[in-house]
Amino acid sequence: LQEGGFSRAGARSRWQTMSTTNNIAQARKLVEQLRIEAGIERIKVSKASSELMNYCEQHARNDPLLVGVPASENPFKDKKPCIIL
Amino acid sequence: LLRQQEPQQHPWEPGKQTPPPTRSHRLSLPASFAKMATEGLHENETLASLKNEAESLKGKLEEETMFLHDVLFHQVAERVEALGQFVMKTRRTLKGHGNKVLCMDWCKDKRRIVSSSQDGKVIVWDSFTTNKEHAVTMPCTWVMACAYAPSGCAIACGGLDNKCSVYPLTFDKNENMAAKKKSVAMHTNYLSACSFTNSDMQILTASGDGTCALWDVESGQLLQSFHGHGADVLCLDLAPSETGNTFVSGGCDKKAMVWDMRSGQCIQSFETHDSDINSVRYYPSGDAFASGSDDATCRLYDLRADREVAIYSKESIIFGASSVDFSLSGRLLFAGYNDYTINVWDVLKGSRVSILFGHENRVSTLRVSPDGTAFCSGSWDHTLRIWA
């Protein structure tokens, strides 16, 4: 089906078929989605990275798996020493 | 994140010159739009004009991408101290499933765990003692999804039955758990993931039918559906409550999509993986999320930069990553793989800090406990392991 040559007045010409209408519907949907994406406010990677880094650093000492907690504070770590028989 | 569409930048404003936008001169629209503007939008748009606009918008987006990608993520991390040696061991092994463990979730009490299996069984465990507290047999096999309710009083699960059902947890020995079952979600294909929102009243589901959906638990009513994935949706994760009503999903179409829960709209979409995305998890601040894929990589996407910023991979890792989760500070990423191992990644530097052996088959599910003291992994070897 040809892409160009449709009536400018907007009335359906006899060459306009269901699949052409669907193509327009699809194209319109794509354009709408792209407009949304183009409207998103984005920040630089340098800024994004340093903010993620700051979050890590601020919360590091409260991260048990990162800093390690003594057995007395971790319910999963055994408190009793092992006895080798 | 959505900026108000400024009227001067609308391509269909009749007759007006588009002034350069305040952000960057590189983003101004070509002059041909001024001509097209006189034609108006809906009645006179043609396939050609729509395609032109699409191409122009794509070009605009590409230019902006290059402008914003000013530095490599790991370069910024060079100033951060390297991590020391990690000693993480299996502290508990939960045995009792008769077949592959497919999914697990922690209770907010940081000790109870719900897990589901290929054999149709859903078990609630006390991870401190390894005792089984509840067990229910589902009418279907391959229970691929399970979740603990925020109150700790119920669990949700589903799989090949195409449904998500909620079971209230009762300590009454005489009560049959299955008798109180409530069917909440109905999909047209398997349930791959489910999660309560911040209350027991709503459940978010992902399905092999390519959609996600939000349901009211009490009435079973569909509150919102999310269409956009081109294939099975395999995973989802809700944004931390402080960051608002969004969630991320990943699918067999290799896409990770971020959704607005109220409107049903996809607000951001990422397609950089080379294969199915099996797992997605938000970074604790809510500004980023990680994904694990059959392409053997895990990736980090920053939502405000709107792009992938890191890839966690090694030539020696050739099997798919099935599930990922962050430690409490977001510095560590734990990832379970189909080669039976768990790799621990330094999120900032991009290097692997540890590899954990123990499971005797694929690791299928992995979650860090709510207080970050341990993480649990589930495997096709029928067991779950608690690591700390």
A30 contacts B285? CB cut-off 8 A? no
Q: Which pLDDT band, with edges at 50, 70 and 90, does B36 fall under?
A: very low
Taking phi first (over 0 means left), then psi (-120 to 50 degrees means alpha), and beta for anything else, what does residue B373 get?
alpha
Task: Note the pLDDT tens digit of each residue in A52-73.
Answer: 999 999 999 999 999 988 888 8
In chain B, what are the helix, strand and coil shares in percent, each to the nearest 5? 10, 40, 50
| pLDDT on residue A20 | 61
Rounded average pLDDT over B259-271: 93
What whole-number distance in Å separates Cα of residue B5 and Cα of residue A67?
A: 46
What confidence tier does B31 reach under pLDDT thresholds 50, 70, 90?
very low
Q: How far, CA to CA in Å, does B306 sit from each of A38, A51, B1?
A: 11, 14, 10
Averaged pLDDT, A6-19: 39
- Decide if pLDDT at B9 tops 80: no
Q: Within a 10 A sphere around the Cβ of B12, how many other Cβ atoms?
A: 16
Q: Is B81 in the A-facing interface, judged by CB distances under 8 Å?
A: no
Which of the two residues, A17 and B361, has the higher pLDDT score? B361
Angle separating helix axes A18-38 and B47-68, nearest 10 degrees: 20
Q: Using the predicted structure, report yes or no on whether residue B325 has a pLDDT greater than 90.
A: yes
Q: Residue A7: pLDDT above 50? A: no
CB contact under 8 A, B69 and A30: no
Q: Is the ipTM of this complex over 0.90?
A: no
State whether A40 and B76 contact (CB < 8 Å).
no
Report pLDDT digits (tens) over A15-39.
444 556 678 888 898 898 888 878 8
> What is residue B85's predicted lDDT score, i.e. its pLDDT?
82
Chain B residue closest in CA terms to A79: B91
Q: Which of B58, B80, B305 sits opposite A48 (nearest CB)?
A: B305
The lowest-confidence range among B46-55, B92-101, B255-264 is B46-55
Q: Could you give the CA distance from residue B229 to residue B236 in angstroms, rounded to a whole number? A: 12
Domains and CATH numbers, chain B: 74-387 (2.130.10.10)
Domains and CATH numbers, chain A: 11-61 (4.10.260.10)
